[in-house]
Chains A and B, each alone.
Chain A
Amino acid sequence: MPASTTAPPPALEAKALARSFGVVKALRGVDFALERGSALTVFGPNGAGKTTLLRILAGLLRADRGEVRMDGRPFRRDDAAQRRRIGLISHASLLYDGLTARENLEFYGRLYGLGDVRQAAGSALEAVGLAQRADSPAGTMSRGMVQRLAIARALLHDPVLVLLDEPFTGLDQAAAGALRAQLMRLRAEGRTVVLVTHNLDEGLELATHVAIQVAGRFVEYGARAGGVDGYRRRYAEATRDA
């Protein structure tokens, strides 16, 4: 009996995704397929539709056409099991300023049905180095600390797919460095990552695949090849013509 040699389906797949807001066509057909453990970085100027793409992948937005597949199965927004496998880090923190760091994480822990929320919150805070600030309200924290707390929130339920929307916005050097290290850790842990950004310097390092998105389409997409300069040149060309 020959052993099965079929490859596993892609961890994340997008087919012909399109979305309009009234007469504005934010996404005009985007396709990609990622194996587990890959990291796709999407570069594009403002208005290219990157956030729209990410929100569709996160299940926050419905696509007008096309579909998203996770591990070969169509992504359905009301499928709780699939939603449980997604984590989102955005430039907004998705946290409550009035609650402490611990309370924020315990709340999300409850939403995700994590049994011992106190313990889960505790270890998540340790992992991002915020254990001493566990009982400070999120509103009193610096931007860098808030970003770390947001990462803790996003990873609390151990998602296999991590989506990042301009996560470096407003971070100083130190915080940006910490975030870069965190992202490399995500790759090492075998999670699938999709990062959208307008800043080439931030997202290229961790990428296994790179896409350049302009006016709702991928004008370039493929495995990462070459260095920053090549991408910088092609990005400048692509955005100049837009």
Chain B
Amino acid sequence: MTEPARVTGAVPGRSHVWLWLALALLAGVYVRALAFTPVERVQGLAQKIFYIHVPSAWAAFLAFIVVSACSVGYLVLKDQRLDLIAASSAEVGVVFTSGVLLTGPIWAKPIWGAWWTWDARLTSTLFLWFIFFGYLVMRSAVGEPGQRARYSSVLGILGAPLVVFIHVSVTLFRTTHPQPVVLKPQGPTLPGEMLTTLLLSVAVFTVFYLALTARRYALAKAELARAQALAEGDHAA
């Protein structure tokens, strides 16, 4: 009777390197944000949350785009790795989305006086959270991996136009969110220093998202390899 394959605690691969790099970059950009970027005149120190809030929103939507793209890819190519990437991205995405939903009220309260205002971006992000949540709940409720991948991919594909429709619907309502200071058609009205910090934050969060997703994916592959090894062990016995 052969012994089942031994499993060590470590996750194979070099995904942890990227993670440490991302964390270092994160620390660096926040030093810049807090110490080397001017304080905004009207909003004061509360505006510093902007450098977490906006990049988190960007990372959340990036995560969702990856989920959708991998979903299409999986249904076309039937490569299980695409399903694992989508699942990893969804888990990371829900964390970033939660970050947006937490920093939003923290920012809004000193500025607008209310914890929650149904402004366009925050509301769309709330629904994005529910979409991620539904995706992850569906995955946890389906046992068979092939079926789980298929169902998740269907959700991932349907979610894309849904996000668009939700955003359009929400925008049709009156909003009280501050005008998007970066993506205005006549050019960003954010003064130079702040704009640079913001763009740096967005870049760093992108790296952070990629590192987290890569790590989660590596973990998922390790779990799969372990399950396969155990199954082989059972058969050989």
A residues touching B (Cβ–Cβ < 8 Å)? 21-25, 215
Contacts and interface: CB of A to CB of B under 8 A. Distances in A.
A29 to B, nearest CB: 14
Contacts, number: 16
B227 A25 contact: no
B228 interface: yes
Given A21-B145, A21-B146, A23-B227, 13 more contacts: A21-B144, A22-B144, A22-B145, A22-B146, A22-B227, A23-B224, A23-B228, A23-B230, A23-B231, A24-B231, A25-B231, A25-B235, A215-B235
B79 to A, nearest CB: 13
Contacts of A215: 235
Interface of B: 144-146, 224, 227-228, 230-231, 235
Contacts of B235: 25, 215
Nearest to B231: A23
Contacts of B144: 21-22
A28 to B, nearest CB: 9
A92 to B, nearest CB: 19
Contacts of B227: 22-23
Query: 6 nearest interchain CB pairs?
Result: A23-B231, A22-B145, A23-B227, A23-B228, A21-B144, A22-B144
A56 to B, nearest CB: 14
Nearest to A215: B235
A173 B95 CA distance: 61
A23 B225 CA distance: 9
A22 B150 CA distance: 13
A25 B228 CA distance: 10
Nearest to B148: A22
Nearest to A216: B235
A25 B230 CA distance: 13
Nearest to B147: A21
16 contacts: A21-B144, A21-B145, A21-B146, A22-B144, A22-B145, A22-B146, A22-B227, A23-B224, A23-B227, A23-B228, A23-B230, A23-B231, A24-B231, A25-B231, A25-B235, A215-B235
Contacts of A21: 144-146
A24 B234 CA distance: 10
B183 to A, nearest CB: 44
A193 B224 CA distance: 39
A21 B145 CA distance: 7
A24 B230 CA distance: 10
Please indicate which of the listed interface residues B146, B224, B230 has the most CB atoms of chain A within 10 Å of its own CB: B146
A191 to B, nearest CB: 32
Nearest to B229: A23
A24 B146 CA distance: 12
Contacts of A24: 231
Contacts of B230: 23
Contacts of A25: 231, 235
Contacts of B145: 21-22
A22 B226 CA distance: 12
A215 to B, nearest CB: 7
A23 B227 CA distance: 7
Nearest to A22: B145
Contacts of A22: 144-146, 227
B220 to A, nearest CB: 13
Nearest to B227: A23
B50 to A, nearest CB: 45
A193 to B, nearest CB: 29
A23 B235 CA distance: 11
